[in-house]
Structure 1
Amino acid sequence: MAQSTEKKLTGLVAATFTPFTAQGEVNLAEIGPYIDYLITTQGVNSIFVNGTTGEGMSLSVAERKLLAEEWCRKAKGKMEQVIIHVGCTSLKESQELARHAVEIGADGIAVISPSFFKPRSAESLRAYLQNVATAAPTVPFYYYHLPGLTGVNVPASDLLEGIETLIPSFRGVKFSGSDLMDFGQCINHTQPHWSVLYGVDEQLLAALALGAHGAVGSTYNYLGSHMKKLLSEFESGNLEQARSLQFKMQELISHAVKVGFDVGVNKQLMAEVSGLQLGPPRLPIMPCPKVHAVSIKQKYQHLFSVH
């Protein structure tokens, strides 16, 4: 694969929510307006589809294909990059989704570790990822590191050792863990054409100080414009201003955690802020009580002066 023709994945990437109807079916009609909202209101031009925020592991393979296809189709010519998460507990299904991502013109694929039968070592995790990558050898491949949910505590920096020999299409890590030492070691051992992206939104500034190339997160759906400002303040050396924005985000998330911040609450907050019809989450995640979403939205408006 010619690295020179690829665009390196940097900046803010919104981890998209999956729109559902009130009956809990996939709602493709909302994807076009969603993309327009991200571009025009938030200034976010890359997306990460069918991940944790998108409830990807609660979707069927058929639903994931439908969604991936629609996100790619509607983003074509508008967005810089569409990364499709194809990780499953089943290797065969993950390979199927990887092949499909190639067919629909995705800009990259990401794979989370299986979380029922767990890899016990970097070697077994590398072998699993290699087997998924072989199904889509021409597409940039990212490892999605999320130990808090997968229970797989293999350090991401260990995984990187020799990975490009096994996976020539390897292009980086979506690092959604809080271990900044492991994250730092990923940066320290990165290749020039890799992207190490941070996924814990409330610690973005710390990750930038360690050399993060960008960030993937759910809050960039509705805080994208403010967090882009954080990136530019950091790049300009205005640490005080960057800290101020990070602390505001932390205050919002702290408030949200107190009322019970999960994917369902986050999804409802996005709907309240954007006006998009995103529907309820899928069980076992429970719908967000309206009072919680309103409370978090008020906090959001107070902190970021959105009127």
Structure 2
Amino acid sequence: MTTLSKSLVLAEHDNHTLKAATLHAVTAAAQCASEVHVLVAGANAGAVAQAAASIAGVARVLHVDAPHLASQGAENMAAQVLALAPGYSHVLLAATSSGKGIAPRVAARLDVAQLSEITRVVAPDTFERPIHAGNALATVRSRDAIKLATVRSTGFDAAAQDGGAAPIESREAVADCGKSRFVGREIMPNDRPELAAARVVVSGGRALGSREKFGEVLTPLADKLGAALGASRAAVDAGYAANDLQVGQTGKIVAPQLYIACGISGAIQHLAGMKDSKVIVAINKDPEAPIFSIADYGLEADLFAAVPELASAI
């Protein structure tokens, strides 16, 4: 690693609060280069810049503030990253919905290969990433001058949120590309922990049978544990749960301290999104359900009886 190598991390935030995914990306960035900078691009996001400056290991925060960055659209955010990227050996984004929309645009414009969802930094030019729905790991080496990667949060510990005192530098915003316009956002109120960052997740599958049963059976247990609610793709496709609760290869990747799978058979695409959980508990009446093969604790039982009984015992 050269003493001049620098990593740029694009911060994930809502203009008010720094998202946990950024902390994991900072850890990865510190393993790539000797100096880590964080880009906070948004509108009236001064509090986010201050939070980024406090992250342990961050050497500098670049703050870009402009009205057209308020919604953090992929086109404008990609252009902002591109304006700064030439000064860095590595550019890292969290492998979230936002990061996955921005990174390919940046890679294409830089004419570099995108390293998707890295889970380990072997060397500054060599990375490990899952393939085949997480059933295999590929080690890839990049010869590009700028290594651009998205970071799977479950692969890296979160950097400490306190202990840093990085200077904050204001940088000029790129012009609005005018290719898209933010119309509106509907956010469902949720007093539960964010699914991707929760320490405990209670997930339900298609076996719950209806949206009403999904809430009726799982909510009391989640309330007792202070857990986030999750769902399999089958449950989401059936309309039992909202899209943002989906855990899996095509949903959110989670690795909580405790993952409780209720009525989830364990399809490959679901396992890819939760098998890194520290402790996995599976409740299913089918003894042949694949979920039992990766579960630390398995309960062969009717979830409609077992889950309420578990909740009442806590």
Q: TM-score, normalised by structure 2?
A: 0.31
Rg larger in structure = 2
Relative to its length, the structure with more strand (as a share) is: 2
Which one has more relative contact order, counting CA pairs under 8 Å at least 6 apart? 1
Q: TM-score, normalised by structure 1?
A: 0.32
